[in-house]
Structure 1
Amino acid sequence: MNPKIIIHGASSFLGKNFTKSLIENGYEIFILSRPSSNLSFLPNKKEIKIFRYNHIEEILQKKILSNLNYNIFFEFSWYGVFNDKRNDPQQLTINIPLIINSIKIAKHLHSKHWIGFGSQAEYGIHNYKISEETPCNPTTLYGKAKYICSQIANILCTAYGIEYTWLRIFSLYGPNDNHKWFINYLIEKLLLNEEIDMTLGEQKWDYLYIDDAVDALMKLITVEKGLGIINLASGNSIRLKDLVLLAKKLTQSDSKINFGKIPYREDQVMNMEADISKISQLLGWKPKYDYWQGLLKMINEYKKEWNLSK
């Protein structure tokens, strides 16, 4: 029998795509959401239950919810994911209580497995392939908050007898993500044949296509034990200049690319690539999309949405 799934943060990029996959595969889901969250993508099905709240304490105070039994709790919510918020003190003051309350709610709803989402930013700057054993030395408050929350979540889940998984996500990409992210910004500019200013593009980055990330989560809900801290990435980095030139070729764009127009940041990460041995071994998972396939699928989605024939 399929496990029943609780989702907090269903309107996030990964949360939305994962929720759609659960629905398509007939899972019963329970969504916790603030009134401001856009859940218009959800179909009207009896298998989907939604509880809107203004304050997180409302969930703990609702006795009716304590009678529910949902096996797995996914925590997608996080304050301040964009670059302009990466050193905002609220990374700590908002997100640490959020994670603590999340695990309290998981216990309240009798969940057996709590799954949270970390980041490559927890590791800091390294010039070699990063495994889960790589020392964490985050350089931003975002990375530090994620790392602190990973430790708190482990302690609380152990205290409550809940299985614990913390997925350190490297960069995701795919259609319908926020246009502020590099690949979405890039494809939009290329399709519009607009000039693009960027760095020299010597950075090597590990990007994972959204469908592959969802596939990993679908495999994760079939395991009974938590996986602890685990990398979720493609395991293959690409030089940003090569990524840009590949996207330009696939879009057949006339955009002028001004490599080197933007200087590197002082804390610029030049090499970010994950070792995905652990998740591959434990889940029998590996990415299906290479960069050519992922970009092409994403470009075709944009063309369809924008009604472009080229």
Structure 2
Amino acid sequence: MKIIITGSTGMIGLALINLLKNENTVYAISRPNSDKIKYIPQHPNVNIIECDLNNLSSLEDKIEEADIFFHLGWMGTYGNNRNDIYSQIDNIKITMDAVKLASVLGCKSFVGTGSQAEYGNHNETLTEDTSINPSTPYGIAKYTSGKLSRLYADELNIKHCWTRILSVYGPGDKKTLIGSCINAILNNQPFDTTNGDQVWDYIYSGDCAKALYEIAINGVNNQTYIICSGKKRRLKDYLVDLKDCINPDYELGFGKRDYNPNQVMYLTGDISKLEEDTNFRIETSFEEGIKKTVEWFKENN
């Protein structure tokens, strides 16, 4: 098959390319002059195309046809950029442009990547039916993109599935808490954090990529799927396991930072719907995934 991936240099995008490259033709769409292009695997089936997300229509002349479109690309995913209203509004239009491009190129399946931020702050296990109450421009834009792209895909007769991804870690992860912690330990720098009492659900990027592929192939049209491991643990326990994998003698700075005013203390999900509709099953334990992630950091630090 011929597969398009926007956001190809991100952690999930890289995992998706690695999953698909051997038996498919992959078009990896990357921001022009991105310093992360070097992480995209060199493979005869992987075609790297530099294109700004605001100019997706230009790809009509660079790709003849495709079967599946994975839209992972998003501007303003970290820090204060999540609260930049105008940037987030741009992302809604970009998502519509992605659906249009998928149609022009003959794609039969469109998979968009949303976020747990669409739900807002809930102290319960998230399901596809949990009430939606986004509290940030990022969360609102993700939810709006999911709803509007579904309507547009229906109009263009393309299968549409939206995903709400919880916490992911893996190779290519440099900005999230897990990535920052790995980097600090490897460089013997202090890592100050909260008490770590948050209860979270982490999924390895390779498993997340497999979930996305299963959804593209076997997911139900117009369905939204939560992507996570379905297992919950205290954040402190995750970080201790991470530390022990690299340097058991390293001291994590628990309790040296206060919780943010809007700190999410409970972030877990139920993947029953995903497992029911597709062949997806979690394959990678946190311990296994962390070992692979640490090795990537050592090679690319």
Q: Assess same fold via TM > 0.5.
A: yes
Query: Aligned-pair distance for 1:261?
Result: 1.5
Task: Report the equivalent of 2:7.
Answer: 9
Instruction: Output the CA distance in 1 between the equivalents of 2:27 and 2:247.
Output: 43
Task: Report the equivalent of 1:114.
Answer: 110
Instruction: Output the CA distance in 2 between the equivalents of 1:192 and 1:51.
Output: 34
Query: Aligned-pair distance for 1:58?
Result: 4.5
**188-197 or 13-22: bigger deviation:** 188-197
Report the CA distance shift for 1:105/1:295 in structure 2 as closer, same or farther (over 3 A): same
Structure 1 counterpart of 2:13, which letter?
G
Task: Report the equivalent of 2:58.
Answer: 59
Q: Does 1:196 align with 2:191?
A: yes
Instruction: Output the CA distance in 2 between the equivalents of 1:162 and 1:36.
Output: 32
Q: Deviations over 1:261-303 (max 9, x none)?
A: 2111111110000010011111121212222222233234434
Q: Does 1:139 align with 2:138?
A: no
Report the CA distance shift for 1:205/1:81 in structure 2 as closer, same or farther (over 3 A): same
**281-290 or 166-175: bigger deviation:** 281-290
Residue aligned with 1:114, SS: strand
Q: Which has the larger radius of gyration?
A: 1
Contact 1:194 1:255 in 2 (8 A): no
Report the CA distance shift for 1:186/1:137 in structure 2 as closer, same or farther (over 3 A): same
Contact 1:199 1:259 in 2 (8 A): yes
Query: Aligned-pair distance for 1:72?
Result: 0.9
Contact 2:14 2:172 in 1 (8 A): no
Structure 2 counterpart of 1:291, which letter?
F
| Matched pairs, number | 298
Report the CA distance shift for 1:58/1:72 in structure 2 as closer, same or farther (over 3 A): closer
Q: Deviations over 1:178-206 (max 9, x none)?
A: 2x211111122223333321111111111
Q: Deviations over 1:144-164 (max 9, x none)?
A: 110111111111111111100
Task: Report the equivalent of 1:20.
Answer: 18
Query: Aligned-pair distance for 1:9?
Result: 2.2
Structure 1 counterpart of 2:5, which letter?
I
Instruction: Output the CA distance in 1 between the equivalents of 2:131 and 2:186.
Output: 41
Match of 1:160 among 153, 156, 162: 156
Q: Deviations over 1:107-138 (max 9, x none)?
A: 11111111110001111111111100001111
Query: Aligned-pair distance for 1:59?
Result: 2.2
Q: Does 1:218 align with 2:213?
A: yes
Contact 2:110 2:216 in 1 (8 A): no
Structure 1 counterpart of 2:292, which letter?
K
Residue aligned with 1:86, SS: helix
Contact 2:110 2:159 in 1 (8 A): yes
Report the CA distance shift for 1:281/1:227 in structure 2 as closer, same or farther (over 3 A): farther
Query: Aligned-pair distance for 1:43?
Result: 2.3
Structure 1 counterpart of 2:15, which letter?
N
Task: Report the equivalent of 1:92.
Answer: 88
Structure 1 counterpart of 2:23, which letter?
G
Contact 1:195 1:255 in 2 (8 A): no
Report the CA distance shift for 1:91/1:134 in structure 2 as closer, same or farther (over 3 A): farther
Query: Aligned-pair distance for 1:75?
Result: 0.8
Report the CA distance shift for 1:266/1:292 in structure 2 as closer, same or farther (over 3 A): same
Instruction: Output the CA distance in 1 between the equivalents of 2:80 and 2:253.
Output: 23
Report the CA distance shift for 1:222/1:244 in structure 2 as closer, same or farther (over 3 A): same
Query: Aligned-pair distance for 1:20?
Result: 2.3
Residue aligned with 2:20, SS: helix
**229-238 or 184-193: bigger deviation:** 184-193
Report the CA distance shift for 1:302/1:61 in structure 2 as closer, same or farther (over 3 A): closer
Contact 2:194 2:255 in 1 (8 A): yes
Flag structure 2 segments of 5+ consecutive residues without an equivalent. none
Identity rate, percent: 32
Q: Does 1:284 align with 2:273?
A: no
Task: Report the equivalent of 1:181.
Answer: 176
Query: Aligned-pair distance for 1:172?
Result: 0.6
Flag structure 1 segments of 5+ consecutive residues without an equivalent. none
Instruction: Output the CA distance in 1 between the equivalents of 2:295 and 2:88.
Output: 39
Query: Aligned-pair distance for 1:255?
Result: 2.8
Contact 2:184 2:190 in 1 (8 A): yes
Normalized against structure 2, the TM-score is what?
0.90
Cα RMSD, aligned residues only: 2.2
**145-154 or 290-299: bigger deviation:** 290-299
Instruction: Output the CA distance in 2 between the equivalents of 1:145 and 1:31.
Output: 24
